[in-house]
Structure formats: structure tokens, C-alpha cells
Chain A
Amino acid sequence: MATEPTVKPTDPLTATPATLDPAQVDPAAPPATGPWKLAWRRLRRNKVALAFGVLFVLLILSALAAPLWAEHVANTTPDRNRLADQIIVDGKPRDIVSVRGIPMGPTWRGEYFLGADENGRDVMVRLLYGARNSVFIGLTAALITTVLAVLLGLLAGYFRGWIDALISRGLDVLWAFPVLLLGIALGVSLATEGLSIGPITVAGNSLWIPTLIIGFVGIVYLARPVRGQVLGLREKEFIEVARAQGMSDWRIMTRELLPNLFSTILVFFPLIMANAILLEAALSFLGAGVQAPSPSWGTMIDTGLDRLRGAPHLTIAPGVMLIMTVLSLNIFGEGVRDALDPRAKVRLEH
């Protein structure tokens, strides 16, 4: 007759005091601190990471407030063209776009706070709407990447054999393509015709096109480390115990392995999101990302390049926003990594 195991089939990293055998607990010792709590303590000590985390939250809030700014402050919409109009600035009428096609610079007040673009649209409004698009694409693409990469990594690492070979070779193929070129190829072809798979149809100018592309091409960056970690974990004692208990493969993967991947996922997620936002900007810059009239920082930078001297605000404003967003995600992400596992050296490879 088999004896009851003394340790429940859960990895010590994520174990809480409640899951430990009471016999092992010293009653005189101070209450043990869980790894999540420890990580939070470490993160709180990292003031720089926290500051950039707050900055990212502020950027998201400003993106969410875009319609409010557009309607109540700027009195316009992100795609309203006012090429031939004038506005009053300091009591004087000013062309929004000059006859020579030079857009007005910042007014530093409600209307055209950051100036106009080449079609007489409000740059501030488009910047905020562009932030919504960037955050939407970055977040959704990172989620798609994470779900698919974790699933593939789990399957490959847990089952090994032909499943591993199939998935790993597929990842090798994906890895072999330069991400940007793959993104451009997919973006350009899908932007014209849209995407149609069975009953699912996505219009060519939908934000879902760049989102799906970026989510897809990012899989390889997370799936490989996950597979590697699962390969190590599946040999651990607690997994053997789970098998001995007769747990199904699916249950072992979801109940035993997955919780142990959370710290890795958590470390990677902000970095993947930053990467996705950068890739979205790059694809849009090259015309293969967000399609008109939806604003995107990449498109804004692209269209502003020809007017770098006469209207530098067209390029500087979206450039600064892009830098701040990616920087905040990267620094916050590294803070999370240090907090969860100070010894880890996780890097997204390009």
C-alpha cells in the first residue's frame, strides 16, 4: 500500500506555508514570507522601476482619455482635415496649414496643443489616439504571443519526442525569418485584401491585422525559454509524484507546470509588449501596420520625416511618446525580473 506523500506535488518556489507539511514548520520561527510577497518587497525598493511603472500607467490613462481631450479640449476628431482653415492664436488668425503645405506648430493651448499635421489634423489628438492603438496592439499582441508560446512550449517540453521535434522545427523556421521582413510581407498583403479564414473575416484596415501579425511573429521569443524551463521542470520530483498519483498529462501541465512558469511569463510579458509596440511602430512607419485613417506613432513619424526642418513637431512628438512607452515598459519589466529572481538574466533576443 502506497503511503501518502509528505510533500504535495507543488514546486517549493510557489508553495505557501499552508501547503507545507506542518511537521516541517518550526512554531518558534517568524511567519515565512511567500515568494510573491518577497518579489513585491524587492520591486518596491527599486524606485526607478516603480517610477517607470507609474509613467506607463499614466500613458495608458492619457490614452484612455483621448476622446475626452478631443471632444472637450481640442474640439475635433482624430481624422478631421482642416487644411484651409484658420484659428485665432494670441488674437491673430493663423493658417492651420500654409499655402506651401507647412503645418502650424504647437499653440500650447487646447486647440492644436502640439500643432497640426500635413492634413490640418490636431497632432495632440492623433498622438493620444495613436497611444490607444499602440497600447491595444501591444497588449493584445503580447497576450496572443504569451498564450500561444506557453502552449507550444508546454507541449514541446512536456511530451518531447516527435511533438517537440515538430514544434521546435516550426519555431526554427519562424526564427530564421527576419521579423521585420516577415511582418512587412504579411502586413502589405493583408492590408489590401484583409484576412478571411472560414467564417472569420478581418478587414484590411482593421487594427487586428497588425495585432495578429505581431502576436504571431513574437511567439518564438517566449516559446523557446518556456520549452527549456518545462524540460527541466518535468524531471523534478513533484512532477514524478503527480504522475505517480495518476494525474493526467493535461492536469499536470495546467496545475503543476503552468504555475511554475508564471514568474517567467511575468518577466517576459512587459518586454514582449514593449517589443510589440516597437514592431507596430516600425511596421506602420513602413506602411504595413496600422492603416489610415487610424493614427499610429509609426505613421506619424513617417509622414513627418519630409518636413523635419519646417515642422519638426510632426516627428518629435510621436518619437518621444514611443521612447517613453518602450522605455517605461523595459525598465519596469527589468525591475519585475530582478524582483522575481535577482539571479535571472532574461533578455529578449532579436
Chain B
Amino acid sequence: MRSTLRTLMGLIAVLVLALGVAGCGGDDGGDEGGATGGGEDQAAVQEGGTATFNYASFPDYLDPAMSYTVAGWQALIPTYTPLLTYRREAGAAGAQLMPGLAEAMPEVTNGGKTYTFKLREGLKYSDGTAVKASDFEHTIKRVITLESGGAPFYVGAIEGAEAYQKAGKAKGDITGIEADEATREITVNLTEASGQFPFIVSMDFGGLVPGDTPFEILTKKPPPGVGQFKITKVEGNRAFTLEKNENFPEIPGLPPAKLDKIQINVVKNAERQVRDVLTNEADYLDDPSAGDALQEFQQQATDRYKEQTTNSTYYYFLNHRTPPFDDEKVRQAVAYAVDERAVVRIYGGLMEPGCNFLPPGMEGHQKVDPCPWGDPGQPPDLEKAKSLIKEAGAEGEKVLVWGNDEDDSRQNAEYLASAMKGIGLDARPKIIEGSVFFTTVGNQRTKAQAGFTNWFQDFPHPGNFLFLVAGDTIQPTNNQNFGNVDDPEINTAIKELNPKELSEASDGYAEIDRKLVERAHVVPYGSKKIPLITSERIAFENVLFHPVLQADYTTFALKEGEQ
């Protein structure tokens, strides 16, 4: 999931600290004490009450089949529960899967190609209708028919899903999914064994909806789901309301919501978004951006400010198919020239510097130490970079560095162009509008030479990052492998590791990560931190900031005595 200011931030991880990476970087602020929640120092809270949350923009969709942004998933995860979900715990434990609407973890047979789930008994949607096993197939059909951003996850993985998509008939059949209403069993046959499939099932695209839910986008009137909350009111693109779902069944590990109601308002003004929370006008702000107001919040309300490192990778892509970056020496020179101390400043300190492609906290992350292109905390080796440019005969080569008009991306592109200029390339930034940025640089006709990009995990599996640098994902349009990285050795390794259990494949993924960095296929510079802030009304220490699902709205509760 890509991040932009409007369709912000992908799914998050705070595994960093749990895995002992907290020592990296020179951040001078923010409590790095780990994720909140999880049972330590819980404050006395009351059941019920209403809280107000601020969003910078309205979610892309309020339909689980369609939403593919954090703003959307934040509200939809406690509203639509999939068959599998994540343990509601902070740290590494939170990245482990547990049964959601399924009774137990699936039975895996047929060499890893068949998954059998069994629905819990007596499940009801928020409108009181019973959940049926066949609803799962309908849920996946909606994702595919509505051409959701999540469709490729299922089309590529489930047998018959591609044929269903090609047939273009919404009510057709996905042959690889079978449901037995009597036994409540759902059997899914895959095209090939994939260690990623349980994670794909746990994405909110798979949050079950009734079998008669129309094949249309239902943001204005979201369908019923099985979750701790239900969406009861949508006011244009300005606000929506979550209310406690009284039909939510008892599911071990998924406690009911504490609040009765959450009113979510869109507040465009960045300063007001933060100031509202500081003055208790609002109770929570989704993804505050760095700025004066946030700094003021940090100084005035240290007890309700915390920074969490996300499972994200921020990196510069260098196009292997376009001069001068078709020459490894030029890519190495750029890697030498990037000053991570500078990049940290672009993000106002909200960046955990590092040179790995796989983020800290992701299985397979083994810190590349020392970084082959210099210590991230030290000035860059510009002389070495200049000599590599000379060796490659690339002095004065024209380079356009692509970025979008959102602050950090624009600043980043300007910085990289300046750094490239400093080592002898004739670089200029090229800034375009955020909404067309990724489609523009992902179009081979653009021949984007270099630029800013990032990726936030959809699910905690290295495959969700490595597809960005796998040769077989290169496409003429909507290409996500912006640098056209196509290293045969890495391609083979990714394919070989995919069917394996994550724990067995960890070292293999670490090896791929190391090679990506050492061969300067990409220039990673860190993982984004997200500040977490709440009002004084909320029991801050009770709020669970989940490594995958981010802020868990079901854990928000008013302090005792608050109205």
C-alpha cells in the first residue's frame, strides 16, 4: 500500500522495538517505549460514551471490498471481520494470525494448495441476519467484480478466480471456492502453494458481507458486517459515524468495543487537526503530519504523544533501463551520495534511518550492518561517489528526479536532485500532482529515471515488499517496480521462497534484502514513524497501536468520569 497525504499510510508495524532495533538512528524526541496497550498500566475506564476522531481526508471507500487506505481500514477493520485476523497485541505477537470468523486456523492439505476453514457457529451480521459459508465466495466476487485494488491478491491465488474475472459475470462461479452450509465449511483451492495466502485472507477485503450485497460500491450505505462496530451514518465526504454493534458475537481474542459511538469528522486544516486534540475538542487524529502544531503538542502533552515506527520502506528508485542508472556504478554513486541525516530532517525526525529494503519488524529483516554505502549517522562519502560517476563516464548526464507535490515527496525529490548535482550529474527535480504520480512514473513511456517512492505493508510477509523489485512484476503501465529491477538471481530466490513457511524462509529473505542493497538496485533510507496522539479524555495507555492494524478503535475508552 502506498502512502500519500490523501490516501495515507499503509498498515503499520511497531515490531521494531520488540525486535530490538530501537537503538538505530538519532531521534531526539518521542517516546520509543513500544506500543501502547497490551495490558500494562491500564487506566480505569468507563464503558460507553462518545468520542470524536479527526481525519485529514475522507476514506477512499467505506466498503470493505474497495477500501485500500489506512483511513478506510482503520474504520473498517473493527466493522468487517475476515475469516482470519491478527492477535490484538502490541509488538511481534500482534503480527501473528488467529481465527477471526473461522472457528480455528485452516486445515492445509494438497501440498499447501487447499485451505479448509470452518465458520463459527451462530454468527450474525450487524443487521441480525445469519452469516453463511457461501458469503465468503460472494465477498471475494465483489472484490473482483468491482475491480478493487485488492482483486489481484485473489485473482492470482485462487483457482478459477481468473476465469471468473475474464467471464465478467458477477453472479458466475469461482470454481476454487466451495462452501457447505450444513457443515459451515469453506474450501479454497489455490493455483499454487503460497505462504502468503493466510495473510491475504486476513486482509479487510475479505471481511464478510451478506450474500445478497449488491455488486456496487456501497460507501454511501455500507453493508452490514460482523464487527465490534457498525457504520450507521455517512454524511457526504465530511463525516461518518461508528456505533457499537450489539450483535457482535463472543470471539476469543476480539473483545467488544468500549465506546458506544465514534464520530469521525474530516478536518482539512493541518493545524486545527492537531490543535483540536490538544484542546480536547477531538479525541484522536489519524496520522498527524509533522509541523509546528505537532511539535507544540509534543511539548505540551508528552503523556499522550508517542511515535511508532511502521513496517514501511522509503526508498529512491533508479531506473535500470534508462541511462545513466543502467550502470551499476552510477547507482552505487547515488547510494554513496544520499545523506540519511538529511532525509531524517525532511520528515521532521519522523523517520527511522536504515539501509535495508525489508523494514525492521518484518520477518526476514536482518540489519545490513555496516551499510555498504556508509554509516547512516555520518556524512556521505561524496568523493567516492564522484569518482564512481567519473569511472562510469556519467558526468553531466541529465537526470529528472520525480516526486509529487506533497511536502515530503517534493522535498525529497529536490534533495535527491541536489545530491546528484553535487556528485556531477545534471539533475533536476520533476514535481507532479500526487494523484497521478504513481501512475505516471509507473508508465514505461514516462521513462522516469529516478525518484521518490515508499511502501507500507499490506500484511506482515516479505513477499508483500519484494514484489516491488521482482522482475516478473514489471509491466508497461501501472508498474510498481519503478526501477525495473530484474536480477535473475533475486527473481529465482523470491519464487523459491514463496511456498515456504515464513519461519523457514526468513534467512532466505534476509539474503535477498542484502543483495538488493549491495547491488544498489534501490536506495532505501528508512521507515516512517507515525505520531500517535489522543485527547485527555481518552485513556491513552489503554489504546492498542497494533503492529499491522494500527490504532485499534475497539480499545479506545473514556477515562472514568469523562462525559
Whether A205 sits at the interface, judged by CB under 8 Å, is: yes
Whether B296 sits at the interface, judged by CB under 8 Å, is: yes
Chain A residues within an 8 Å CB radius of B422: 80
Give A120 to B343 CA distance when docked, in angstroms: 12
Give A81 to B413 CA distance when docked, in angstroms: 11
Q: Are B415 and A100 in contact (CB under 8 A)?
A: no
Q: Which of A54-62, A145-153, A248-256, A304-312 contacts B (4 or more CB under 8 A)?
A: A304-312
Chain A residues within an 8 Å CB radius of B28: 99-100
Asked, given contacts A84-B341, A84-B345, whether A292 binds B418 with beta carbons under 8 Å apart, the answer is no
Q: Are A83 and B346 in contact (CB under 8 A)?
A: yes
Q: Are B414 and A287 in contact (CB under 8 A)?
A: no
Whether B126 sits at the interface, judged by CB under 8 Å, is: no
Main secondary structure of the interface of A (DSSP, over half): loop
Whether A265 sits at the interface, judged by CB under 8 Å, is: no
Q: Are A292 and B410 in contact (CB under 8 A)?
A: yes
Task: Kindly identify which residue among A98, A188, A306, A310 contacts B345, using a CB–CB cutoff of 8 Å.
Answer: A98
Q: Are B290 and A293 in contact (CB under 8 A)?
A: no
Chain A residues within an 8 Å CB radius of B411: 118-119
How many residues of chain A have a CB within 8 Å of chain B?
29
Chain B residues within an 8 Å CB radius of A188: 433
Q: Are B292 and A293 in contact (CB under 8 A)?
A: no
Give A312 to B270 CA distance when docked, in angstroms: 17
Q: Determine which residue in A79, A80, A204 has the highest number of CB atoms from chain B within 10 A of its CB, and name it.
A: A79
Whether A97 sits at the interface, judged by CB under 8 Å, is: yes
Give A120 to B345 CA distance when docked, in angstroms: 10
Chain A residues within an 8 Å CB radius of B433: 188, 192, 287
Chain B residues within an 8 Å CB radius of A303: 407, 410
Q: Are B342 and A192 in contact (CB under 8 A)?
A: no
**CB nearest to B407 among chain A residues:** A306
Chain B residues within an 8 Å CB radius of A291: 430-431
Q: Are B292 and A192 in contact (CB under 8 A)?
A: no
Asked, given contacts A287-B405, A303-B407, A306-B270, whether A99 binds B436 with beta carbons under 8 Å apart, the answer is no
Give A292 to B432 CA distance when docked, in angstroms: 10
Q: Are A292 and B415 in contact (CB under 8 A)?
A: no
Give A204 to B414 CA distance when docked, in angstroms: 16
**CB nearest to B413 among chain A residues:** A292
Whether A214 sits at the interface, judged by CB under 8 Å, is: no
Asked, given contacts A83-B339, A100-B28, A192-B436, whether A293 binds B345 with beta carbons under 8 Å apart, the answer is no
Give A293 to B345 CA distance when docked, in angstroms: 19
Q: Interface residues of B toward A: which range?
A: 35 or more
Q: Which of B376-410 contact A (CB under 8 A)?
A: 379, 405, 407, 410
Main secondary structure of the interface of B (DSSP, over half): helix
A-B pair count, CB < 8 Å, reads 94
Whether B321 sits at the interface, judged by CB under 8 Å, is: no
Whether A101 sits at the interface, judged by CB under 8 Å, is: yes
Whether B548 sits at the interface, judged by CB under 8 Å, is: no
Q: Are A119 and B418 in contact (CB under 8 A)?
A: yes
**CB nearest to A97 among chain B residues:** B345
Whether B344 sits at the interface, judged by CB under 8 Å, is: yes
Q: Which of A127-184 contact B (CB under 8 A)?
A: none
Task: Kindly identify which residue among A80, A98, A293 contacts B429, using a CB–CB cutoff of 8 Å.
Answer: A293
Whether A191 sits at the interface, judged by CB under 8 Å, is: yes
Chain B residues within an 8 Å CB radius of A101: 290, 345-349
Task: Kindly identify which residue among B292, B343, B431 contacts A309, using a CB–CB cutoff of 8 Å.
Answer: B292
Give A102 to B379 CA distance when docked, in angstroms: 20
Q: Are B432 and A81 in contact (CB under 8 A)?
A: no
Q: What sequence of 0s and 1s flags, for each residue 183-205 of chain A, a beta carbon within 8 Å of any chain B beta carbon? A: 00000100110000000000011
Chain A residues within an 8 Å CB radius of B29: 100
Q: Are A99 and B26 in contact (CB under 8 A)?
A: yes
Q: Are A307 and B291 in contact (CB under 8 A)?
A: yes
Whether B440 sits at the interface, judged by CB under 8 Å, is: yes
B32 shortest CB reach to chain A, Å: 14
B37 shortest CB reach to chain A, Å: 27
Whether B417 sits at the interface, judged by CB under 8 Å, is: yes
B375 shortest CB reach to chain A, Å: 13
Task: Kindly identify which residue among A80, A100, A191 contacts B418, using a CB–CB cutoff of 8 Å.
Answer: A80
Give A310 to B28 CA distance when docked, in angstroms: 17
Task: Kindly identify which residue among B292, B418, B429, B432 contacts A306, using a CB–CB cutoff of 8 Å.
Answer: B292
Give A310 to B417 CA distance when docked, in angstroms: 26
Q: Which of B24-39 contact A (CB under 8 A)?
A: 26-29
Whether B428 sits at the interface, judged by CB under 8 Å, is: yes
Q: Determine which residue in B342, B419, B422, B429 has the highest number of CB atoms from chain A within 10 A of its CB, and name it.
A: B342
Give A291 to B413 CA distance when docked, in angstroms: 12
Give A280 to B383 CA distance when docked, in angstroms: 40
Give A80 to B418 CA distance when docked, in angstroms: 6
Whether B295 sits at the interface, judged by CB under 8 Å, is: yes
Q: Are B349 and A100 in contact (CB under 8 A)?
A: yes
Chain A residues within an 8 Å CB radius of B343: 83
**CB nearest to A79 among chain B residues:** B418
B99 shortest CB reach to chain A, Å: 43
A94 shortest CB reach to chain B, Å: 14
**CB nearest to B410 among chain A residues:** A292
Q: Are B346 and A79 in contact (CB under 8 A)?
A: no
Q: Are A306 and B291 in contact (CB under 8 A)?
A: yes
Task: Kindly identify which residue among B270, B295, B339 contacts A100, using a CB–CB cutoff of 8 Å.
Answer: B295
Asked, given contacts A81-B415, A100-B28, A308-B292, whether A192 binds B432 with beta carbons under 8 Å apart, the answer is yes
Asked, given contacts A192-B436, A192-B440, A309-B296, whether A292 binds B429 with beta carbons under 8 Å apart, the answer is yes
**CB nearest to B291 among chain A residues:** A306
B323 shortest CB reach to chain A, Å: 19
Give A120 to B29 CA distance when docked, in angstroms: 21
B429 shortest CB reach to chain A, Å: 5
Give A323 to B152 CA distance when docked, in angstroms: 54
Chain B residues within an 8 Å CB radius of A293: 414, 417-418, 428-429
Q: Which of A251-293 contact B (CB under 8 A)?
A: 287, 291-293
Q: What sequence of 0s and 1s flags, for each residue 299-328 of chain A, a beta carbon within 8 Å of any chain B beta carbon? A: 000010011111000000000000000000
Asked, given contacts A101-B347, A101-B349, A119-B418, whether A81 binds B342 with beta carbons under 8 Å apart, the answer is yes
- 27 residue pairs from A and B, CB less than 8 Å apart: A79-B417, A79-B418, A83-B341, A83-B346, A84-B339, A84-B342, A84-B345, A97-B345, A98-B345, A100-B290, A101-B290, A101-B347, A101-B348, A101-B349, A102-B295, A119-B346, A119-B411, A119-B414, A192-B432, A205-B430, A287-B431, A287-B433, A292-B431, A293-B414, A293-B429, A306-B292, A308-B292
Which residues of chain A have a CB within 8 Å of any CB of chain B? 79-81, 83-84, 97-102, 118-120, 188, 191-192, 204-205, 287, 291-293, 303, 306-310
Identify the 10 closest CB pairs spanning chains A and B, nearest first: A101-B348, A83-B342, A81-B418, A84-B341, A309-B292, A84-B342, A306-B291, A310-B292, A292-B429, A83-B345
